[in-house]
Amino acid sequence: MIFPVIVAQGESSMADNGLLESVLRLVEKVDGGTDSQDVAADLGVDHQVIVGAVKSLQALGEVISAEQKSSRHWELTGEGREIAEQGSHEARVFNAIPDEGLPQNQLMKMPSGKVGFSKAMSNKWIRLDKAHEGGPRVFKTVTIEDTVRDKLQLVQKGQSAKLEDKEKNELKKRKLLSEVTVKSYWITKGSSFSTTITKQETELTPEMIASGSWKEKKFKPYNFEAMGVAPDCGHLHPLMKVRTQFRQIFLEMGFTEMPTNNFIESSFWNFDSLFQPQQHPARDQHDTFFISDPALAHEFPQDYLERVKKVHSEGGYGSQGYKYDWKIEEAQKNLLRTHTTAVSARMLYKLAQQKFTPVKYFSIDRVFRNETLDATHLAEFHQIEGVVADYGLTLGNLMGILHQFFTKLGITKLRFKPAYNPYTEPSMEVFSYHEGLKKWVEVGNSGVFRPEMLLPMGLPEGVSVIAWGLSLERPTMIKYGINNIRELVGHKVNLQMVYDSPICRLDS
Amino acid sequence: MPTVSVKRDLLFEALGQKYTDEEFDELCFEFGLELDEITSEKEILIREQGGEKAEGASDVVLYKIDVPANRYDLLCLEGLVRGLQVFKEKLEAPRYKRVSPADGGEPQRLVITEETASVRPHAVAAVLRNITFTQERYESFIELQEKLHQNICRKRTLVAIGTHDLDTISGPFTYTAKPPGEIRFKPLSQSREYTAAELMSLYKTDSHLRHYLHIIENEPLYPIIYDSNGIVLSMPPIINGDHSKISLNTKNIFIECTATDLTKVNRFTLIITVCLFVCFNTFFILFRVEEAEVVYPDGRLSVYPELAYRTETLSGDFINKRVGINESAESIAQLLTRMCLRSEVSGEGDLIQVEIPPTRADVIHACDIMEDAAIAYGFNNIVRSTPRTYTVANQLPVNKLTELLRQDLTAAGFTEALTFALCSEEDIADKLRKNITETRAVHISNPKTADFQVARTSLLPGLLKTIAANRKMPLPLKLFEISDVVLKDETKDVGARNNRRLCAVYYNKSPGFEVIHGLLDRVMQLLDVKPGRNQGYHIQAAEDSTFFPGRCAEIFSCGKSIGHLGVLHPDVISRFELTMPCSAIDIDIEPFL
C-alpha cells in the first residue's frame, strides 16, 4: 500500500485546543503523572475523549509522554445507566404513588412495576391494602432514600472506590454493574512541556514563505515509513533497455550498425553465400520458416552467384568444395532469416565491391526459427552479432576482442571450446564462469569466416573476418530474473514487470 | 549436435586411465567435446518411464558426450577413444587400408540393375573379415550404424547401411528394384515372410521404422538386394532380411550402402559412410577390410571401399599468422599429428605436408587444418590480443531515430510493448476488419501453428493482445511500440521489405481520442514538424474499417499520408477480447529519416 507521507499519526482523533490545554493544566498540577481516567473524571468528560486528546498531544512532539496501561474498572450496564438517571425501579414505583395510594393493577402496568413493587415491598417502603374498596390498593409508608441510584451515580463519576466490594458485587448480581478492563494512559510531562498549544501546520505554504511566518510555526512530523506517490510515467521494455546497452557497448568499441531491417531473406544470402550446403539440416522445413508469397527472390549479383555455385559444387580458392549439384532453385527460396549473419554476408559482399578498408560491424535484431517452443525458446528472438574485417586478423584477436566485449558486460572469466559451425573455421563456443551456478556456462558463439565464404565475394586474400553472436533474450532473462521467456517477449508480457524493472547497467 | 552415449568404465579402460568427472569434462572441453550428462540406464528409465519400469535396469555409469556435427569419426566409443588417445599422444593414428581376398580368390561383387535408377540408384559394398565380437563390441557396432543413419545419412534419406553375416549368404549379390507385391521375405525380428506391401503397413505402427517408410512408400518399385540363391539381404532403406542377420558369432561381414538419387552429394556421402564404418570398427575388432566390387548397369566396375588418403601442403607461417601463435614447423606438424592428421615437415622452408585420412571428410580447406592445429595447441593457451583495426562507429539512421523516439514516448507517459513479428492471418485481417488480400502481407509456407502464418503488417494487433493479456492492470493502459512490419514490395530483390512503424494505443473507460491526438502532436513536435497543410502536418477525416465511423482521421506530413489515428471500431475491440473503448495511432516513421 502507498500512503502519502503527509498523513500525521493520530490526526483522526484530534481534539480541540481548549480541551488539550485543560488536560495539560491537570498534568502540570501533579508530580509524577496522572491517569487518563482520572483526567476524564476530573474534567467530567468521557474517557475516550481524553484518549483522543492524549494522541493529539503526542503528535505535537515532546509535550507529554504517555504510557499505555490497562486496569480493571467498574462500569454501569445499560440498565445501571438508566437507574443512575431515573432512579431505581423501587424508587420509581414509590414516587409514582400519590398520597391517596394507587390501585395495584394500575401500578403493575408501569414499566418498572413488577420489579419495583416486589423490591419496594421487601424494603417496606409501601404496603398493600388487599381489602380496599374497588380492588387492592398500594400506599406509601415512609419517606425513602434511593441508595441504589446513589451508588450507581458514584460509579458513573469514577468513584467506585467509595463503595465496598460487597455492595459492588450485589449491584453486579442485579446486572447493573460490570467489571471491565480499561486501556488508559499514564500521562507525564514531556521534555518540551507547556500548558499552551501551538497549532501545528501540515505543509509549508507560499503565504508562510512570503510573510516569514514559517519561522514561528510548528510543523506536523511526516511519517517516513510510508511509500511515496508513484509518478505518472511510461516505461521502457526491459529487453529493449538491454538492447540499448548492447548498442552502446558496440558504439563505444567503434562498431557500425548494419541495416538488418529486412526480415525476409533469400536462401542465397541466408545460407549459400555463407557456404552452407543446400542439403544442410538447417535448410530443412523443420527448422526454417519458408515464404509462400513472395516465394522466390528474383535478383542476385550474377557473377557472384556463379562463384558461389562453383565453390559449393566444385570447390576452388583452395577448397575441395562439397561436391554436389548446386541448384539456383534452392538459393531462390525466400525465408524468414534464421540469423543476422545473412546481413553480414550482404555487407561483406558490398565491402568487397570497393577498395578494401577495415570495418567493424554490429547488429541486434530479430531472427526466426521454426523450432519446438518451450520456456526458453520462441519462434523469434533477437540476435546480437559483431563482425570485424581486416588484414591479418588472428584467432588470438578474436579472443581478445571477445574479452573486451564481455568485460563491458561485467564478464571477465572466459574460456573457449572448439565447436562446429558450417561457415566459420575455426569455430569457438564462448564460456564464462558463473559464480552463482559454480560452473562454466555458454554465453556466445564465435569464429573466423571460411575462405569459401569470403573469397567468392571478392575480398582480398589476406583479409580475415572474425565474428561472434549471442542472443539478447538470454542475458536479459538472467539480468531481470525471468524464467519464462513468454513473460518477457510477446503480448503475454506482464506489464507490472515492465513497470517495475530497474534500469539496465550490464556491468554491475 | 549428435550425442554419443558410452559406458564410463569401458571408456576409461579403453583410454588406459581413470579420470574424475571434472578431469574428463576438462579433457572433452579442450578437445571440442562436451560431457553433457552423467547418468545410467536405470536413471534414464526412471526419468522417462517411472521407477517401476526401471527395476533391474543397469546402473552402470553412462557418459553422454556431445560431438560436433562435422566429426562423424567420433560417433562411437571406438572413434572417441582413438581420437582422444591420439590427441594425448598415447597412440598413433591408424592407417586404414583394404586388402584383396586372402586366398587369392575373387572379391565379393554387387551387381546393380537398371531398375534401381528410378528409386535408389547408388550402392557401394565392402567386406570385413576375421571379426571377434564381444557383447560390448557388438553393441558398439550396431550403435555406430544407427548413429551414422541419424547423422551423416540424414535419417536414411541420403544413405542407408545394411550389414550381413557373409557366411550365411553367397555372392554375387544383385541390387535391383521390384514392385512391392513381388517382394517377399522374412524381415529382421519377424517369424514369417511378408510381401513388401504388407511390411509397409506392418511398420506403420513401428515406433522406429515408421519414420523411414516415406522414403520409398510412393515409389512404383522398391529397392531390394538378393544373394545368388535369391535370399533377400535387405530392402533399403527400411529393413534387412532375417536370414543374414549378424550375431555375436559372426566372423565375416558383408556391408552394402545404398543412396537415393543422383546428386553428387549422395555419392560422396555414400563413399564417406562406408569408409567411416569400416574404419571405426578396425580399432577394437581385429579384422581385415576386404575389397568388394560394384558393377553398374552400364558395365562399369568400381572397387570399394575407397580408403583414399590425400596430402595437403601448407606453411607453418600460414598457421602461425591465422591462429596468432609462433610455433616452429616441426611443432605444428606434431600438433596436427595429434589430431589424426599425420604431418611432416617437408624440408622446404617451413612447409608441412599433412595427410588427410578418409575418415576426415570435414577437412576440405587449409583453414580446417589450421583449426586442428589451434585445437591441439589449446584455444585457451593462445595469447589474447586486441586487433589494431581503426574504425569510426555509425548508427543506422532508422535505429537512431527509433531509440530517440522511444525515450520521449515513455516521457509522454506511454509504456513500451514488445510484440511478435509473426502472427495469424486473422490477427492482421479479420480482427482488424480488413481483407487479407489488401494487407500486402508476406505468407509463411510451413507454419507449425496459426500463430506463424504471416509476418505482421501492423503493430496494432500485438498491442491489443498485450492489453488483453493485462486486463487486470489499472486503467488507463497507454502502450506503444516502434518496430518493423513487413510488406510485399516488388522493387526489392526478395519481393518484400520492412517498414518501421510507431503505434500507440489508449485503453480506458472513455475513448480518449484527444489523448492519442495529443500524442501525435507531441511526436510531431519531437520530429520538428509544425502543424500546417503544406510543409507541416495535419489530419483529416477518413474512413478506415478498423476504426469507428466518423472517429478516424488520416495523418499527413508534408502532403504525404503517413498513417491513421482514431477510435477503434467496437467489433475490433471485441475481437481482441477487450471491453473498453480504445483509441490508436499508427504511423510510418521512415519519412522522417
Cβ neighbours of B417 in A, within 8 Å: 237, 491, 493
Phi/psi of residue B545, nearest 5 degrees: -65, -20
Task: Report the alpha-carbon angle A358-A418-A364, nearest 5.
Answer: 45
pLDDT of residue B563: 96
Which residues of chain B from 75 to 94 reach within 8 Å of chain A, CB to CB?
Answer: none
CA distances from B461 to A89, A247, A490, B577 (A): 81, 28, 11, 11
Q: Which of residues 23-62 of B touch A (CB under 8 A)?
A: 29, 31-32, 34
A234: which 3 cell numbers?
A: 511510461
Total H helices, total E strands in chain A:
19, 18
Answer yes or no: do B411 and A404 touch at CB < 8 A: no
Distance in angstroms (rounded) separating the CA atoms of residues B561 and B151: 54
Residue A294 pLDDT grade (very low, low, confident, very high; cuts 50, 70, 90): very high
Confidence of residue B381 (pLDDT cuts 50, 70, 90): very high
Q: Is B214 on the interface with A (CB under 8 A)?
A: no
Interface probe with B: pick from A395, A454, A466, A494, most Cβ of B within 10 Å: A395
The predicted structure's pLDDT at residue B157: 81
Chain A residues with CB under 8 Å of B415 CB are: 234-235, 237, 495, 498-499
Amino acid at B565: L
Provide, rounded to the nearest whole percent, the portion of chain B with pLDDT above 90.
52
**Distance (Å) from the C-alpha of residue A206 to the closest C-alpha of chain B?**
29
Cell of A167: 455492595
What pLDDT score was predicted for residue B262?
47
What is residue A175's predicted lDDT score, i.e. its pLDDT? 84
Give the 3-state DSSP-derived string for A45-99, with helices as H, strands as E and coil as C: CCHHHHHHHHHHHHHCCCCEEEEEEEEEEEEECHHHHHHHHHCCHHHHHHHHCCC
Using a CB–CB cutoff of 8 Å, tell me whether B191 touches chain A: no
Q: A35 at the B interface (CB within 8 A)?
A: no
User: What's the pLDDT score for residue A10?
Assistant: 39
Task: Name which of A355, A344, A387, A303 is nearest A460 in CA terms.
Answer: A355
pLDDT band at B341 (very low <50, low <70, confident <90, very high): very high
Assess whether pLDDT exceeds 90 at residue B161: no
Would you state the pLDDT for residue A15? Answer: 52
Residue whose entry in the numeric block shows the C-alpha cell 463503595: A163
Candidates B383, B66, B34; CA nearest to A440 is B34
> Hey, are the CB atoms on B29 and A289 less than 8 Å from each other?
no
What does the radius of gyration of chain B's CA atoms come to, in whole angstroms?
Answer: 33
Q: Taking a C-beta distance cutoff of 8 angstroms, is the pair A470, A444 a contact?
A: yes
Alpha helices in A178-301 (DSSP H): 206-211, 238-252, 267-270
State whether residue A417 sits within 8 Å of chain B by CB. Answer: yes
Residue A385 zone, left/alpha/beta (φ > 0; ψ -120 to 50; rest): beta
Residues found in chain B: 593
Predicted TM-score of the model (pTM)? 0.79
d(CA A162, CA A410): 80
CA distance B81 to B33: 12
The count of other CB atoms within 10 Å of the CB of residue A22 is: 18
**Continuous H helices in B394-444:** 397-411, 425-428
The CA-atom distances, in angstroms, between B343 and each of A486, B333, B336, B382 are: 52, 5, 6, 21
**What backbone torsions phi and psi does residue B165 show, to the nearest 5 degrees?**
-75, 110
Contact at CB, B452 and A379, closer than 8 angstroms: yes
Identify the band that residue B337 occupies on the pLDDT scale cut at 50, 70 and 90: very high
Residue A1: predicted pLDDT: 37
Per-range mean pLDDT, top range of A341-350, A369-378, B75-84, B216-225:
A341-350
The C-alpha of A1 sits at a distance from chain B's nearest C-alpha, in angstroms, of 15
Q: How far is A488 from chain B (nearest CA, A)?
A: 8
Q: Which H/E stretch holds residue A359?
A: strand A359-368
What mean pLDDT do residues B299-317 have? 87
The full 3-state SS of A495-507, as one line of letters, equals: HHHHHHCCCCCCC
Q: Based on C-alpha coordinates, what's the Rg of chain A?
A: 47
Confidence of residue B216 (pLDDT cuts 50, 70, 90): confident
Statement: residue A67 has pLDDT above 90: no
Rounded Cα–Cα distance for residues A477 and A240 (Å) = 12
Is A435 near chain B, with CB under 8 Å? Answer: no
pLDDT on residue B271: 62
CA distance B446 to A288: 8
Strand partners, B553: B541, B565
Residues A175, A77: Cα–Cα separation, whole Å: 7
Q: Binning pLDDT at 50, 70 and 90, where does residue B287 land?
A: low
| CB contact at 8 A, B98 and B126 | yes
Of chain B residues 375-414, which have a CB less than 8 A from chain A? 375, 379-380, 382-387, 389-396, 398-399, 403, 406-407, 409-414
**Per-residue pLDDT at A89:** 84
- pLDDT score at B472: 92
Put simply, whether A441 touches B (Cβ < 8 Å) is no
**Helix ranges, A174-264 (H):** 206-211, 238-252
Contact partners, residue A329, CB within 8 Å, separation at least 6: none
**B409-446 pLDDT, tens digit each:** 999 999 999 999 999 999 999 999 999 999 999 999 99
Angle between helices B135-150 and B77-87 (to 10 degrees): 90
B553 close to B534: Cβ distance less than 8 angstroms: no
Q: pLDDT, tens digit, for every residue of A425-470?
A: 999 999 998 887 788 889 999 999 999 999 999 999 999 999 999 9
Judged by CB atoms within 8 Å, which residues 69-98 of A form the interface with B? none
pLDDT at B278: 60
pLDDT of residue B393: 96
Give which of B214, B223, B241 is closest to B178, Cα–Cα: B223
Could you tell me if A361 lies within 8 Å of chain B, comparing CB atoms?
Answer: no
CB contact B309 to A (< 8 Å):
no
Helices (H), B88-215: 135-150, 196-202
The three three-digit cell numbers of residue B423, written as one number: 502472427
* DSSP 3-state of B125: strand
How far, in Å, CA of B338 to CA of A349, rounded?
A: 37
Q: Give the model confidence (pLDDT) of B345-371 as tens digits.
A: 987 788 999 999 887 888 899 999 999
Restricting to B residues 233-262, those with a Cβ less than 8 Å away from any Cβ of A are: none
Please provide residue A308's backbone torsions phi and psi, each rounded to the nearest 5 degrees.
-65, -45
Residue B545: in which H helix or E strand, if any?
Answer: none
**Strand B477-488 relative to strand B443-444, pairing:** unpaired
How many Å apart are CA B204 and CA B413, to the nearest integer?
60
B3-44: pLDDT as tens digits: 888 888 888 988 888 999 889 998 888 888 888 888 888 887
- The kind and range of the H/E element at B555 are strand B547-557
What is the average pLDDT value for chain B, to the nearest integer?
88
pLDDT of A8 strictly over 50? no
Rounded distance, CA A495 to CA B296, Å?
A: 68
Contacts of B70 in chain A (CB under 8 A): 420
How is residue A7 annotated by DSSP? -
Q: Which residue has the cell 550425442?
A: B3
Query: What confidence tier does B270 reach under pLDDT thresholds 50, 70, 90?
Result: low
Phi, psi of A225 (to 5 degrees): -80, -20
- Would the pLDDT of A7 be above 50? no
Give the residue-averaged pLDDT of A66-89. 82
Please name the residue that has the C-alpha cell 574424475: B20
Q: Do A368 and B379 touch (CB under 8 A)?
A: no
Say if residues B122 and B265 touch (Cβ distance below 8 Å): no
- Among the residue ranges A370-374, B81-85, B257-261, B543-547, the one predicted with the least confidence is B257-261
Residue A162 has what DSSP assignment?
A: G
Give the B window 415-474 contacts with A, CB below 8 Å: 415-422, 442-448, 451-452, 455, 462, 465-466, 468-470, 473
Q: Report the sign of the C-alpha dihedral through residues A464, B340, B122, B205, in that order.
A: negative
Which chain A residue has its CA at the smallest distance from B267's CA?
A324
pLDDT exceeds 70 at position A2 = no
From chain A, the residues in CB contact with B486 under 8 A are 263-264
| pLDDT greater than 80 at residue B398 | yes
* Cβ neighbours around A332 below 10 Å, total: 18
Burial A175-212 (b: 16+ CB within 10 A, else e): ebbeeeeeebbebbbbeeeeeebeebeeeeeeebeeee
Of all residues in chain B, the one with the smallest CA distance to A278 is B265
Q: Which of B156, B246, B163 is nearest to B203 (CA)?
A: B156
Q: Is B265 on the interface with A (CB under 8 A)?
A: yes
Higher pLDDT, A377 or A403: A403
Number of cross-chain residue pairs from A and B with Cβ atoms under 8 Å apart: 295
- CA distance, residue B138 to nearest chain A CA (Å): 30
What is the spatial distance between Cα B436 and Cα B454, in angstroms, rounded to a whole number?
10
Q: Mind listing the pLDDT tens digit for each residue in A232-285? A: 899 999 999 999 999 999 999 999 999 999 999 999 999 999 999 998 878 887
Closest C-alpha to A266, from B474, B588, B366, B493: B493
On whether the CB atoms of residues B467 and B507 are closer than 8 A, the answer is yes
Mean pLDDT value of segment A403-414: 91
Q: What is the pLDDT of residues A465-506, one digit of tens each?
A: 999 999 999 889 888 888 889 889 999 999 999 999 999 888
Q: Which of A360, A495, A497 should one mutate to test binding to chain B, selecting the residue with the greatest count of B CBs within 10 A?
A: A495
pLDDT at residue A397 greater than cutoff 80? yes
Residue B476 is classified by DSSP as: P
A361 and A449 Cβ atoms separated by less than 8 Å: no
Identify the band that residue B261 occupies on the pLDDT scale cut at 50, 70 and 90: low
Helix (H, G, I), strand (E, B) or coil at A401: helix
Cell of A242: 538491454
| Cβ atoms of B546 and B585 closer than 8 Å | no
The pLDDT of A281-305, averaged and rounded, is 91
The reported pLDDT for the residue numbered B573 is 96
The verdict on A206 touching B (C-beta cutoff 8 Å) is no
Q: Which position has the higher pLDDT, A436 or A395?
A: A395
How confident is the model at residue A338, as a pLDDT? 95
Question: How does residue B265 score in pLDDT terms, banded at 50, 70 and 90?
Answer: very low
> Which one-letter amino acid corresponds to residue B77?
L
Contacts of B38 (CB under 8 A, 6+ apart): B8, B21, B61, B62, B63, B64
| pLDDT score, position B104 | 78
Which residues have C-beta within 8 Å of that of residue B223, sequence separation ≥ 6?
Answer: B116, B119, B120, B175, B176, B177, B216, B235, B236, B237, B258
**Contact status, residue A278 vs residue A326, Cβ threshold 8 Å:** yes
Of the ranges A171-185, B175-189, B369-383, B395-409, which one carries the lowest mean pLDDT score? A171-185
Judged against a pLDDT cut of 90, whether residue B534 lies above it is answered with: no
The confidence score (pLDDT) of residue B155 equals 83
A425/B368 Cβ within 8 A = yes
Residue B383 has pLDDT above 90, yes or no: yes
| CB proximity B321 to A under 8 Å | yes
* d(C-alpha B371, C-alpha B308), whole Å: 22
